[in-house]
Structure 1
Amino acid sequence: MTKPSGILTSVIPFIVALLVGVVLGSVVQTQFNLAALQALGVDIPPGTRIATTLHDLASFAPLYAVLFSVGFVVSQSVAVALSCWLGGRFSVWLCTGGAVVGLWATLWLVNTLAPPPTLIAATRGIAGQVAMLATAGVAGVVFAGLRRHAQDAKRPRGFSGFAVFLAVGSLAVLPAISQPAQADLPYHIETLADDLAHPWSLAFLPDGRMLVTERPGRLRLLSNDGETLVQSLAGVPEVFAAGQAGLFDVALSPQFEDDRQVYLSYACGTAQANHTCLARAKLADNSLENVSEIFRAQPAKQGAAHFGGRIAWLPDGSLILTLGDGFDYREEAQNLGNHIGSIVRLNPDGSVPQDNPFVYYGEARPEIYSLGHRNVQGLVFDDQHQRLIAHEHGPRGGDEINIIEAGANYGWPIATGGLDYTGARVTPFEDYPGTEPPTLEWTPSIAPSGMALYSGELFHEWQGDLLVGALVNKEVRRVRLSDDASSAKDVEGLFGELGERIRDVRQGPEGAIYLLTDSPEGRLLRVMPTHLSPPDN
């Protein structure tokens, strides 16, 4: 009778243990995500729980297998080597402890290097972290036990077969992406300014000059043809700039020609305790004067993601400011006791309008205008139809355009069409009683950014349409809303020939389209009809 080979005594136990760790980890993360929703009062029937768990085994487990195997490979290799050095003793303890440390190190490394603060949502809290690490420990016990059982039949000569398996398993192939050729275009794009450090927003002054915010904390003053007049206006509030945090929107007072007031949204604080803040100031020739902070989102949060930051004015003179959920705090978007994941409405001095929907609602923050948002970075008021339009980022899919109504709940994270970045379900529900469904949803995600409602004369076919920047798609999506806002159609993609992330979209006073590209050397671009293009030099 043939006895097991060296590969069987090492690789097969490893594969079995790896599968055990991946399956247990997937099940645990699903239950913690569902528990977070239940804490919000969401009813999750047993059938829905089972279906969600099975979904995550199919969609989350493959990615988790890659992450888990990295630490498991290294930790079990070291554990076996140490056990052999110790004469075969302590293998269970070494494999178990090594698996726990390996997963912990992998999660720490991923959370440090990846854009999301916490990649696997279940590990945002201590209990979730401990539970996930415990699944790794179980996998370590399984590996040690199966390997010892195989060794009773035949002690392996070495670890060479295992090493070959690990080397092969570490390879990955990424698909190539090609771009279609561009047809003749009915517009011309010219560069007005470049070398802008992650420009975020643009505002036109009455005399044609422009203010451009740059995320590191600069407010640049440009002439109407894009020449830099002041590289960085003095007096800009101190900005927390890291990751997605920095200086965001700039908006002029509706009475700017009389009061010279400018409003700035920005991240303030530190990596450990930060907020979305709003300041107003008087614009002087080369600086901002009388700068004062008029709003600070509460409470403070950690990390450098999901701040919102768009500003719009309503016809009654009140101001709308969008906020984000801070990424790791998504359940707080359903908590009226804080500003996280909400849209707020303020008077021009930062005080609370007394007709806000939650002014007299228990412990609710009185500034809140709507709740249940993830990260709102597009905002316009439609004067013709008297409606406030916003869009927000989903995770993997679930980007939304919404018509914002006072006091409404837009569902995040109870209802969304998107998946988490890991492939896991954020929620079993795409819609849920008491929450507003989106007017339009993008899945997969386009990563919507700035948004304009076109009303100019230069591009007649775009009149009344939304122009939505798309960071992932590297284009602008043209969207047409129905008059009653009950439906919307994504008509086409524009300006994709640029191949650049579009951060903001604005309509200029003359009807041209202005774009800001998001990069360390970002550009301000102007889009004009071809027949009005300047002659070649």
Structure 2
Amino acid sequence: MTNVVGFKGRLAAFAIAFVAGVVLGTVVQTQFNLLALQQLGVEIGAGVRLSTTVDDLRQFGPFYAAVFGVSFMLSTLVTGLLLKVLGLGHRALFHAFGAAVALWVTFTLVDALTPPPTLIAATRTLAGVGALLMTAACAGGLYARLTALRGLPRAGYNTFAALALVTGLAVPVDELRAQPAASYQVQEVVAGLEHPWSLAFLPDGGALVTERPGRLRRITAAGELVPGEVSGLPKVFSSGQAGLFEVLISEDFASSGLVFLSYACGVESANHLCVARAKLGEDRLENVEEIFRALPGKKGDAHYGGRMAQLPDASLIITLGDGFDYREQAQILGNHLGSIVRIGTDGVAPEDNPFIDSPDARPEVFSYGHRNVQGLVYDPVEQLLISHEHGPRGGDEINVLRPGQNYGWPVITYGLDYTGARITPFTEYPNMEQPLLQWTPSIAPSGMTRYRGELFPEWRGDLFVGALADRSVRRVEFVDGEAEDVETLFKELKARIRDVITGPDGALYLLTDESDGRVLRVSPKR
């Protein structure tokens, strides 16, 4: 066919093909997301499928329109120019091929330039990528056919109005109303730390602090940062979110000198969350031994979890992440991704673990259905194990952890994907735990403590949750198994808060997640 339409006709043809590509691509990604849930045994009826698809057209559609629009415009211009210069025929075939190639290049660039390993979830598999490229090819072929016609319906010139059905507007969310804060002062203890992640106090009044790139530093009882680093660490994989995470002082440290470290290990193409134990010397770790490695190895550098707590029986609780691209694995007990595990200090799974006798489960699994658990505290007063985890765009959760329970991810969540797509149509599902509290939009929760100190009696029993995206600390009242976010603190610092710790002196200590990170002490204002 020969291109016989004028500029207005080509513009209308482009608009029609563009809308078709956006709608087809959005529908395809929705079906692949739902298919991943169905493969976990989740039942999805026709009504739920339809409503989820419509929601994605409204919420994911604008994002996909931007991604597809750039690639489709370039492919149309470049393919049209090549066809004209080279005098080639088969316009529909070449425009279809060009649109598919351009979208593939765009996906590759987007994934390389954005923090998540794979931004559009449907493209985690070759089948998903292929299906989306086919929708682009359909749009390219449609454009070629329409521009070969002698006339287009006048309605074609108004096709851009159809995008209003796709774009929609995000529903505004009310800001949290802060309650009057206690009177406090914030003092800098040390500075000059590179993305500090965890702080642990030693019996002598000093402390250990981890730096995410893979360094363990020591702070003296006088509050001075010791020059240099503690040597003898195991090899740490440092990239993106990967690095050195938590340092935990053993409950019997006075007699054993043991500390535990969680960290990313391996290489970019196959890495794990690992835990090692070691004896702390004056300026080095001795007798370093890896006691846990999350399996299987995963690709990418996101979602490790990495928080730890020690229970009264000396066993260790270790939080994990789903590896971002592997979210469905959080429902599979045969691996560690998206789970919380419990091991002895020697790395062996205790005999009373909930899945110890299940041949299809990893014996270390304590609970599952988690996304990325980066807050953990054991409260000996009420004998409760409390965690929080990151949602995507919303759906951050606080949970009380109980052995053997399924906390739902990714079958249930209150959050959307970063692209605006629905991860799941469900916020509730049989035999899956509901969170005590959820934040939408996301605050990106980090370290957490339950305050049991003496300096702030009005805060006793409250949870303090660091927030990275919100650049604050949230005070959560936790009474009789109910949690309520009642106050936003330390906004004036304008810093990403990575960890919150109750010090042995009753003060709150904060770590700021910065290239020039600090340890801050919060005490009552005098």
Q: TM-score range by the shorter chain?
A: over 0.9
1:297 maps to which residue?
Answer: 294
**CA-to-partner distance for each residue in 1:256-275, whole Å, 9 max, x for gaps?**
01000000000000000000
Alpha-carbon distance between aligned partners in 2 of 1:451 and 1:482, rounded to the nearest angstrom: 17
DSSP 3-state at the match of 2:306: coil
Deviation at 1:88, TM superposition (A): 6.1
1:161 maps to which residue?
Answer: none
**CA-to-partner distance for each residue in 1:473-529, whole Å, 9 max, x for gaps?**
00000001122x1x2110110001011100000011101111111111111111111
Structure 2 alignment gaps of length 5 or more: 154-174
Contact 2:388 2:397 in 1 (8 A): yes
DSSP 3-state at the match of 2:185: strand
Alpha-carbon distance between aligned partners in 1 of 2:486 and 2:249, rounded to the nearest angstrom: 31
Alpha-carbon distance between aligned partners in 1 of 2:515 and 2:15, rounded to the nearest angstrom: 44
The residue type equivalent to 1:362 in the other structure is P
Alpha-carbon distance between aligned partners in 1 of 2:520 and 2:150, rounded to the nearest angstrom: 67
Do structure 1's residue 430 and structure 2's residue 427 form an aligned pair?
Answer: yes
Alpha-carbon distance between aligned partners in 2 of 1:302 and 1:130, rounded to the nearest angstrom: 21
Do structure 1's residue 489 and structure 2's residue 484 form an aligned pair?
Answer: yes
Deviation at 1:52, TM superposition (A): 0.4
1:346 maps to which residue?
Answer: 343
Q: 1:478 to 1:183 in 2, by over 3 A?
A: closer
2:352 maps to which residue?
Answer: 355
Deviation at 1:152, TM superposition (A): 9.9
Runs of 4+ in 1 over 6 A off after TM superposition: 180-185
Do structure 1's residue 60 and structure 2's residue 60 form an aligned pair?
Answer: yes
Alpha-carbon distance between aligned partners in 1 of 2:124 and 2:44, rounded to the nearest angstrom: 21
% identity of equivalent residues = 57
Q: 1:274 to 1:27 in 2, by over 3 A?
A: same
1:159 maps to which residue?
Answer: none
Aligned residues: 503
Deviation at 1:64, TM superposition (A): 0.4
Contact 2:466 2:497 in 1 (8 A): yes
2:254 maps to which residue?
Answer: 257
The residue type equivalent to 1:217 in the other structure is G
1:400 maps to which residue?
Answer: 397
Mapping for residues 48-197 of structure 1, pairs under 5 Å: 48-87=48-87, 89-150=89-150, 186-197=183-194
Alpha-carbon distance between aligned partners in 1 of 2:193 and 2:13, rounded to the nearest angstrom: 55
Do structure 1's residue 314 and structure 2's residue 311 form an aligned pair?
Answer: yes
Alpha-carbon distance between aligned partners in 2 of 1:182 and 1:424, rounded to the nearest angstrom: 34
2:460 maps to which residue?
Answer: 463
Contact 1:182 1:497 in 2 (8 A): no
2:506 pairs with 508, 511, 514, which one? 511
2:212 pairs with 187, 211, 215, which one? 215
Q: 1:343 to 1:202 in 2, by over 3 A?
A: same
Alpha-carbon distance between aligned partners in 2 of 1:444 and 1:29, rounded to the nearest angstrom: 23
1:524 maps to which residue?
Answer: 519
Do structure 1's residue 331 and structure 2's residue 328 form an aligned pair?
Answer: yes
Contact 2:181 2:489 in 1 (8 A): no
Contact 1:8 1:150 in 2 (8 A): no
1:24 maps to which residue?
Answer: 24
1:9 maps to which residue?
Answer: 9
1:441 maps to which residue?
Answer: 438
Contact 1:48 1:428 in 2 (8 A): yes
DSSP 3-state at the match of 1:310: strand
Contact 2:467 2:474 in 1 (8 A): yes
Alpha-carbon distance between aligned partners in 1 of 2:181 and 2:455, rounded to the nearest angstrom: 18
Deviation at 1:461, TM superposition (A): 1.4
Do structure 1's residue 380 and structure 2's residue 363 form an aligned pair?
Answer: no
Alpha-carbon distance between aligned partners in 1 of 2:196 and 2:427, rounded to the nearest angstrom: 34
Q: TM-score, normalised by structure 1?
A: 0.91
DSSP 3-state at the match of 1:25: helix
Alpha-carbon distance between aligned partners in 2 of 1:303 and 1:385, rounded to the nearest angstrom: 38
Alpha-carbon distance between aligned partners in 1 of 2:514 and 2:93, rounded to the nearest angstrom: 49
1:234 pairs with 208, 231, 236, which one? 231
1:369 pairs with 366, 369, 378, which one? 366
Deviation at 1:181, TM superposition (A): 13
1:198 maps to which residue?
Answer: 195
DSSP 3-state at the match of 2:80: helix
Alpha-carbon distance between aligned partners in 2 of 1:52 and 1:205, rounded to the nearest angstrom: 51
Q: 1:5 to 1:186 in 2, by over 3 A?
A: farther
DSSP 3-state at the match of 2:317: strand
The residue type equivalent to 2:143 in the other structure is F
Alpha-carbon distance between aligned partners in 2 of 1:514 and 1:148, rounded to the nearest angstrom: 69
Alpha-carbon distance between aligned partners in 2 of 1:336 and 1:383, rounded to the nearest angstrom: 28
Contact 1:230 1:286 in 2 (8 A): no
Q: TM-score, normalised by structure 2?
A: 0.93
DSSP 3-state at the match of 2:474: strand
Deviation at 1:83, TM superposition (A): 1.4
Alpha-carbon distance between aligned partners in 2 of 1:509 and 1:455, rounded to the nearest angstrom: 10
Contact 1:83 1:90 in 2 (8 A): no
The residue type equivalent to 1:20 in the other structure is A
Alpha-carbon distance between aligned partners in 1 of 2:181 and 2:398, rounded to the nearest angstrom: 30
Q: 221-230 vs 134-143, which deviates more?
A: 221-230
Alpha-carbon distance between aligned partners in 2 of 1:328 and 1:515, rounded to the nearest angstrom: 31
**CA-to-partner distance for each residue in 1:300-346, whole Å, 9 max, x for gaps?**
00000000000001111111000000000000000010001000001
Structure 1 alignment gaps of length 5 or more: 154-177, 532-537
